[in-house]
Amino acid sequence: QLVLAAIDANGAISDTRALVLPGQAQPATSSEDQITILGALNSLLSREMITYETHEVITHALTPEGAQIASEGSHEARVWSVLPEKGKGAPITPVELKRCVGDETAKVGQGRAFKNGWIGKEGDGLVKLVTDISDTTKNDMQEIASTGTLKTGEKVLADLRKRKLISQRKGQWFTVNKGSNFSTSTAKPETSLTADMLTSGAWKTSTFKKYNFDAEGVPTNGGALHPLLKVREEIRNIFLEMGFAEMPTSSFVESGFWCFDALFVPQQHPARDLQDTFYLSDPQKSLPPEPEYYKRVSTVHEHGGFGSVGYRVPWSHDESSKLLLRTHTTASSAHMLYKLAAKCRGETVEGDEGEFTHGARSTTSLGPDNDDGFRPAKLFSIDRVFRNETMDATHLAEFHQVEGVVADRGLTLADLIGFMRAFFKKMGIDQVRFKPAYNPYTEPSLEIFAFHPMLNKWVEIGNSGMFRPEMLEPMGFPKDVRVHGWGLSLERPTMIRYGINNIRTLVGHKVPIDNIENSPAVMF
Ligand code: PHE
């Protein structure tokens, strides 16, 4: 209130040492007083009612000896005061003097009193030579006690310091100006604008607390996306922007027929072993597939057809109907391709015209007269698959597969390679190589390798190929329709991208939650 009133009266305070604090007679020159004022200044500053500048000064404080001098007089004055005036009484001997004023005062005081000409010798004793003295040291001490300094200046101060009567201290004083919220009222500023204030008009005269933009916010406790889901979204967007439609992949349980037979995987293939595939114990068998398609598939396996000699091994219905956890999303692709070929089989398809063919464009047009029902399609899926693996740092019994499938007339291997180059480039992988490989359902087949700059070597990232006629033609696709596809895991690129070297910190029950929340993959 004092500070605000002073500013209000004079526009500013040029020196806070001139203020007179409540209950005090003297201006607030001591450093204690300035500390009191500083407290008030900071509280007004936080409300932007004032601004202030700090100035540093050296002040002086009395030592205990100096304080004694201020109250009782200097040693020399004390010595002088106990002596009789010359010729007016018995002189006092040095021994008696020590008894009167104490050893220290007698010793120091005698010398100074002589020097000042205040006292003299008479016989063996000491007497006053003057009737009046001016005790400058005492006066200086009192001046320093109240002002922190001496008007007479630094020379005397230095002498007093040398005599250890005063000590130096750093002090502060302030100049104060009006702040943006200056007011003479110290009423608490409002923290919110209420409906009442609006209707009563009180808002016009209220002072409002400023927002503190430097305050740290309360940490948000919202959810965080799993890095795997982030990368999944990224890959999904690449597919969508390349005109692909997403396949439904919710059926984790498939039959041997759709997971393997429809893909022309021989019934004796090692991938179908218990060591590699999880089979269901209850129920164990699937419902039968559509009988004519089933017949065409079993025939191409057992006896061949469509230009193939087949595997020439007796067909096992038991093997085909076993229920299992799908080992690849190509099982879902098989369902979708079969559905895509429905019109080619002469079936009437209701309502889902264009369901898979969104954005796709045929490279060849047959014309309306000989329309064989085929529509080109670009399909993709990203979902979970299961394999009976020995688990280690890079293998789990389940992982996610990314799969792309393109169906059109006259596609070539160059189309597949070109598509994959474009696809991986969009994922940030510029350097890809292809190596001939084997898949039961594709011919030719290519393994995909990418150059890993951090590992400085080529790593396998996926598998691809042109689906075999033994798979496509029993579905009913015309002979000139080619389908190519590629698959990769979602975990591999995620681990490479975010430098994760143990898959268990990415997937499963051992994933550390804070790892997920703080992962840069989640933030960006
Ligand atoms: N199904 C293959 C795998 O699991 C990937 C693939 C998909 C290969 C499509 C060729 C065509 O690795």
- What is the mean pLDDT of each successive set of 10 residues along the chain, which is 524 residues long? 93 94 88 91 91 92 93 93 88 90 90 92 90 92 88 90 91 93 81 94 86 83 79 94 94 97 96 91 96 97 95 96 97 96 87 51 55 92 93 84 96 95 90 95 96 85 96 96 94 80 82 74 58
The one-letter amino acid code at 334 reads: A
487 CA closest ligand 1 atom index: 5
Ligand 1 pocket: which of 463, 472, 484, 492 to mutate (most atoms <8 Å of CB)? 463
Crossing angle for the helix pair 103-116 and 75-82, to the nearest 10 degrees: 90
Cα of 486 from ligand 1 centre, angstroms: 5
Ligand 1 pocket: which of 439, 442, 468, 488 to mutate (most atoms <8 Å of CB)? 439
475: phi then psi, degrees, rounded to nearest 5? -70, -25
Ligand 1 pocket: which of 259, 330, 385, 486 to mutate (most atoms <8 Å of CB)? 330
Q: Residue 362 in contact with residue 408, Cβ under 8 Å?
A: yes
- pLDDT value, residue 289: 95
Closest CA to 165 of 187, 185, 136: 136
Cα of 132 from ligand 1 centre, angstroms: 117
HSE, CB side, 13 Å, CA atoms: give it for residue 119.
Answer: 26
328 CA closest ligand 1 atom index: 4
Q: What would the two tokens of residue 223 be?
A: 């959810």
445 CA closest ligand 1 atom index: 10
484 CA closest ligand 1 atom index: 11
- pLDDT value, residue 351: 58
On whether ipTM exceeds 0.90, the answer is: yes
Contact residues of ligand 1, CB 6 A cut-off: 328, 330, 403, 439, 442, 463-465, 485-487
Cα of 286 from ligand 1 centre, angstroms: 23
Q: Residue 6 in contact with residue 146, Cβ under 8 Å?
A: no
Q: Residue 408 in contact with residue 390, Cβ under 8 Å?
A: no
467 CA closest ligand 1 atom index: 11
Q: Residue 477 in contact with residue 306, Cβ under 8 Å?
A: no
Cα of 7 from ligand 1 centre, angstroms: 82
Chain centre distance of CA 231: 19
462 CA closest ligand 1 atom index: 12
Cα of 327 from ligand 1 centre, angstroms: 10
HSE, CB side, 13 Å, CA atoms: give it for residue 108.
Answer: 12
Question: Cα angle vertex 412, ends 407, 414, to 5°?
Answer: 120
330 CA closest ligand 1 atom index: 1
Nearest protein CA to atom 5 of ligand 1, as residue: 487
Nearest protein CA to atom 3 of ligand 1, as residue: 487
**For a pLDDT cut of 70, what percent of the chain falls above it?**
95
Q: Can you tell me the distance from the alpha carbon of 322 to that of 443, in angstroms, rounded to the nearest whole number?
A: 26
Q: Residue 252 in contact with residue 386, Cβ under 8 Å?
A: yes
401 CA closest ligand 1 atom index: 4
Cα of 343 from ligand 1 centre, angstroms: 26
Ligand 1 pocket: which of 464, 482, 490 to mutate (most atoms <8 Å of CB)? 464
**Cis peptide bond prior to 444, omega within 30° of 0:** yes
pTM as predicted: 0.59
Characterise 346 by phi-psi region: left (phi > 0), alpha (psi -120 to 50), beta (else). Answer: left
